[in-house]
Amino acid sequence: MHKKSVAPTFYSGPARRPASSPSSDDVFLTLQKWTADRSLHLMELPDDVLYLLFRYLDLTSLGRLCQVCRKLRRLIQTDSVWLPFSKHQLVIRQQGRPLQCRTCLPSLKEQCRMASNWTKGINREITIVRHHSRQLPWMQYDEIDSKMMWVSTGESINCYQVLSNGLFQEDKRRKLGPLHGDVTRFVVKDSLVVSGCREGSLFGWHSDTGKRLFCYVNVHTEDTQCVDFHGDLMVSGSRDATLKILSIEEQYNRNPIRTTLRAEDRVWSVSMAPDGSTFASGSAGCNSSYPLIIWDLCKGVMDCSLGQDHRRGAGILDLKYETPDILLSCGYDSYLRLWDLRTEKCEMMWEEPFDSAVYCVKTDGDCAMLTGTARHGMTRLWDKRAPKSVQLYYAGHRSSPVYSLAFDCSHLYLALDISISMLDFSVYK
């Protein structure tokens, strides 16, 4: 009598590969035994075996296999298939965004596709806001509601809803201002909007209702160039070479200034550490040999000074804390620097090849960094793991500095002198 052949038993769980998936040798031996008595068809294989086979395919083969049938397309679109590819690409992350918005993120397959567009410079430019006169705008995502973007225009700060296609729709109910002078820089976090203006004053609003919380006039004798806050403490810097530590609480509204710190030069930028223990200030670098200083927020004294190797006049235009110990700085000397505050040294530096001042820097909290330069609406994409830039982008069709920028995994927003431009990286080739 002939023995009845028995088909082997495979794992038939959910679509995702189990933690203990069979090795390639086990799969080969199993398939060899199965095909000895019958012909084998690809679609008869269990899902976990298909996932293992996908690991041996390149991007082109996976793309072609997606067009075979709906089942293969569904399996290939799962994140487990694209995780190995994402490790070898500069995928733009969306760190620091609310958890409730993470579910709205594109699939890992889409993120890898858009990462390829970022690297190759494939995008579509759209002018989404146009100014009537030349401005020095500042722009920032709302950290609480990632679908809101705040943009300064003259004496006001406008709020825009970011639509699904990346375009803006103005929310006129939350327009802030007018201030006593043009807006210099502002910060949006913890449901607050805090702004400085050229008249030397500081203003604060509730970001949800637009209600003004405080108005501190004549805090500085000259322009309030920069501002940041953490908890109930706020720091501002000015052209009058002073730094002010102020209280945001209502009981201190009559006399909000807690400490006045004397800088040796005009202050262009400030940034507070995520834990609120320290803050950094960047000066013009003309009268001081140290344009970058770290201050103890609680004691109101200098903690350490950095940047002795900066050229004279190579001031710090923008600062960004990644962690309480890691700080990014950029400025007039065309360098982007990464500082380790534990060693008080510059651990890495990247040079702008066209010797142009770097006006602003943003990071995704992982490996991607974007810098805006002083000419031609030019922005560069950097990878922390590489010494040279990955790609550069031009926007605005005229020579304008990139005063500020914001981005997510699919769109890059640039604040230029007469417009806000969007580069859309979700386009198909």
Examine residue 101 and state whether it is found in any structural domain, yes or no. no
- Cα torsion angle, 121, 126, 128, 132, sign: positive
- Ramachandran angles phi, psi of 206, nearest 5°: -85, 125
Taking all residues of the chain, what is their mean pLDDT, rounded to a whole number? Answer: 86
Examine residue 330 and state whether it is found in any structural domain, yes or no. yes
* Per-residue model confidence (pLDDT) at position 271: 97
Examine residue 349 and state whether it is found in any structural domain, yes or no. yes
* Per-residue model confidence (pLDDT) at position 98: 44
- Beta strand 278-283 pairing with 301-306: unpaired
Q: Are residues 354 and 289 in the same domain?
A: yes
Q: Are residues 167 and 226 in the same domain?
A: yes
Q: Are residues 62 and 182 in the same domain?
A: no
Examine residue 289 and state whether it is found in any structural domain, yes or no. yes
Instruction: With a cut of 50, list the residues of the chain below it in pLDDT.
Output: 1-19, 96-103
Residue 175, classed as helix, strand or coil, is: coil
Examine residue 105 and state whether it is found in any structural domain, yes or no. no
Q: Are residues 71 and 133 in the same domain?
A: no
Give the tokens for residue 247: 């209280």
Q: Are residues 43 and 172 in the same domain?
A: no
Check if the beta carbon of residue 228 is closer than 8 Å to that of residue 235.
Answer: yes
Q: Are residues 70 and 186 in the same domain?
A: no
pTM of the model: 0.86
Examine residue 17 and state whether it is found in any structural domain, yes or no. no
Check if the beta carbon of residue 346 is closer than 8 Å to that of residue 371.
Answer: no
- Cα torsion angle, 114, 118, 121, 127, sign: positive
**Residue 57 is part of which domain span?**
24-76
* Per-residue model confidence (pLDDT) at position 38: 60
Phi-psi region of 50 (alpha: psi -120 to 50; beta: other; left: phi over 0): alpha
Examine residue 290 and state whether it is found in any structural domain, yes or no. yes
* Per-residue model confidence (pLDDT) at position 99: 39
Beta bridge partners of 345: 340
Q: Are residues 40 and 186 in the same domain?
A: no
Q: Are residues 262 and 379 in the same domain?
A: yes
Examine residue 5 and state whether it is found in any structural domain, yes or no. no
Give the tokens for residue 104: 């709205």
Q: Are residues 264 and 381 in the same domain?
A: yes
Instruction: Give 395-406 as a DSSP string.
Output: -TTS-----EEE
* Per-residue model confidence (pLDDT) at position 267: 96
As a whole number of angstroms, the distance between CA 159 and CA 408 comes to 18
Q: What is the CATH number of the domain that holds 122?
A: 2.130.10.10
Q: Are residues 267 and 409 in the same domain?
A: yes
Domain total of the chain:
2
Check if the beta carbon of residue 362 is closer than 8 Å to that of residue 405.
Answer: yes
Beta bridge partners of 226: 237
* Per-residue model confidence (pLDDT) at position 167: 94
Give the tokens for residue 40: 């084998």
Q: Are residues 55 and 162 in the same domain?
A: no
* Per-residue model confidence (pLDDT) at position 322: 94
Q: Are residues 59 and 163 in the same domain?
A: no
